[in-house]
Chain A
């Protein structure tokens, strides 16, 4: 008879890594559904193809390193990374773009650092930035949303666009962030009246996609997948800066707070990227600082920088600063006086 001695804690949390990853995948559903409705099924093809490549790369590295392949793949983290990357990429992207993105995410940002739990940068955002800098043309052709395009492509078109890119000719349109970025002489009211893409708040299609990701994010918050600190700090900082520099909606305005919250990747970033438990700061205070600085950087790069959307850059820059933030925001250990670093 063997008597096993197990140290505390004896109560097991119901959330395993696999369950967390499955919850994240489920939470993307409302946003993905909105993307499919407005931009056609391109995002579904993106997710399928990117996941295939991500799993293949992950399996290859695990095999090379002599690690258990199936047991590691079972944590679903490669699929989550691939899904988040695929959502961020433009729909109807060619297959090689997705393959390069998956390689940058899984090989460069994740497996070189030792796999899940060690990556200092968010893998999906590394993949996105590598693609954005290497292939700016493919990365800035966004499909036109339903209601403005003559017709939204079907599933056959989407498959064609992915595997035989030369034969696909879909309607593309500047994103609302591009439009605002290029505006210099019109007041916001005139710009909204003159460009139908801007819709009511964050752009036709975009606002519902953002609300979809917000709904998914709130559900994850309710399930206890992450704490509220980082996303709320990021959204609050972004909205506060947008309100501060709203400038009465004149030509120099950076856009209303509502526009910034509901356009581009703000909501997706706040709930699916900023909350990454590995690459973000860990302490409560650290997460508040981390999230708020991401919000500040997003606004700065969106309105001043060369790139129209800035979530990926802001997240990577703050990933870089996260260990430093953690170092100075270590919580007080019980029994030690304040300011008394143990």
Chain B
């Protein structure tokens, strides 16, 4: 039981990393990784939303869509669920902790468009995960996303001062770096 869950978690964080192996959630990965601090804020917010969205989309699918035979509506319903979760999180954080809201505030609306969030919700259905597995899979995906986002941000701060040829400066060298990181992550293949 415990072993099964840890395999699920390690699989989602390292072996099938959502960014570097499954290539989901690339927009925030490239867009919010220029500074380490913003990357940390983004990864905190994403972790919170992704875990919550994975759980609530599971509930929506199994409690509403499946009994009514509306399984084909899952994509559009999940988009709605994710938007609601993000909006709810934003409101809750703003009322309960203005400090946290100042740290996360800008990034929260951005998460709505993070395809990793929708990806996790859909993959949970495809892989026929139960509730706890869905929750863990969402958390693992978020942890893997946060890990590579934060490491990538630290690396891009160093790249900013490198003597990169002009044609490759900025996002281009970021893409190449992400490619090389993806190459390195292939080493985890077969781990679980």
Q: Which residues from A are CB-within-8-Å of B187? A: 129, 297, 301, 305, 307, 310, 312-314, 316-317
Q: Is the CB of B177 within 8 A of A120?
A: yes
Given contacts A112-B168, A305-B190, contact A321 B180 (CB under 8 A): no
Does A121 sit within 8 A of B, measured CB to CB? yes
Q: Is the CB of A129 within 8 A of B183?
A: yes
Q: Is the CB of A306 within 8 A of B189?
A: yes
Of chain A, the residue at the smallest CB distance from B168 is: A112
Q: Which residues from A are CB-within-8-Å of B173? A: 112-113
Q: How far is the CB of B1 from chain A (nearest CB, A)?
A: 20
The tally of residues in B whose CB lies under 8 Å from a CB in A reads 29
Q: How far is the CB of B170 from chain A (nearest CB, A)?
A: 13
Q: Is the CB of B176 within 8 A of A313?
A: no
Q: B21-29, B103-111, B137-145, B155-163: which lies at the A interface? A: B155-163
Q: How far is the CB of B173 from chain A (nearest CB, A)?
A: 7
In the complex, what distance in Å separates the CA atom of A133 from the CA atom of B184? 10
In the complex, what distance in Å separates the CA atom of A33 from the CA atom of B151? 39
> Which residues of A in the span 294-329 have a Cβ within 8 Å of any Cβ on B?
297, 300-301, 304-307, 310, 312-314, 316-317, 319-321, 323-324, 326-327
Q: Is the CB of B176 within 8 A of A320?
A: no
Does A90 sit within 8 A of B, measured CB to CB? no
Given contacts A118-B162, A320-B151, A324-B151, contact A112 B176 (CB under 8 A): yes
In the complex, what distance in Å separates the CA atom of A79 from the CA atom of B88? 58
Q: How far is the CB of B147 from chain A (nearest CB, A)?
A: 9
Q: Which residues from B are CB-within-8-Å of A120? A: 155, 158-159, 177
Of the candidates B36, B187, B188, B191, the one having the most CB atoms from chain A within 10 angstroms of its own CB is B187
Q: Is the CB of A320 within 8 A of B189?
A: no
Does B125 sit within 8 A of A, measured CB to CB? no
Q: Which residues from A are CB-within-8-Å of B192? A: 304
Q: How far is the CB of B22 from chain A (nearest CB, A)?
A: 17
Q: Is the CB of B157 within 8 A of A313?
A: no
Q: How far is the CB of B80 from chain A (nearest CB, A)?
A: 36
Does A44 sit within 8 A of B, measured CB to CB? no
Pick from B157, B164, B181, B188: contact of A112, CB under 8 Å: B164
Q: Is the CB of B184 within 8 A of A108?
A: no
In the complex, what distance in Å separates the CA atom of A301 from the CA atom of B14? 12
Given contacts A118-B163, A313-B184, A316-B184, contact A300 B158 (CB under 8 A): no
Does A199 sit within 8 A of B, measured CB to CB? no
The 9 A-B pairs with the shortest beta carbon distances in the complex, nearest first, are: A313-B187, A114-B163, A306-B190, A316-B184, A324-B154, A118-B162, A323-B154, A114-B162, A323-B155
30 A-B Cβ contacts within 8 A? Answer: A108-B176, A111-B165, A112-B164, A112-B165, A112-B168, A112-B173, A112-B176, A114-B163, A114-B164, A115-B163, A118-B163, A130-B183, A300-B191, A304-B190, A304-B191, A304-B192, A306-B190, A307-B190, A310-B187, A312-B187, A313-B184, A313-B187, A317-B185, A320-B151, A320-B184, A323-B151, A323-B154, A323-B157, A324-B154, A324-B155
18 extra interface residue pairs, beta carbon distance < 8 Å, beyond A121-B180, A305-B190: A109-B180, A112-B164, A112-B165, A112-B176, A114-B162, A126-B180, A129-B183, A130-B183, A297-B187, A313-B186, A316-B181, A316-B184, A317-B184, A321-B151, A323-B151, A323-B154, A323-B158, A324-B154
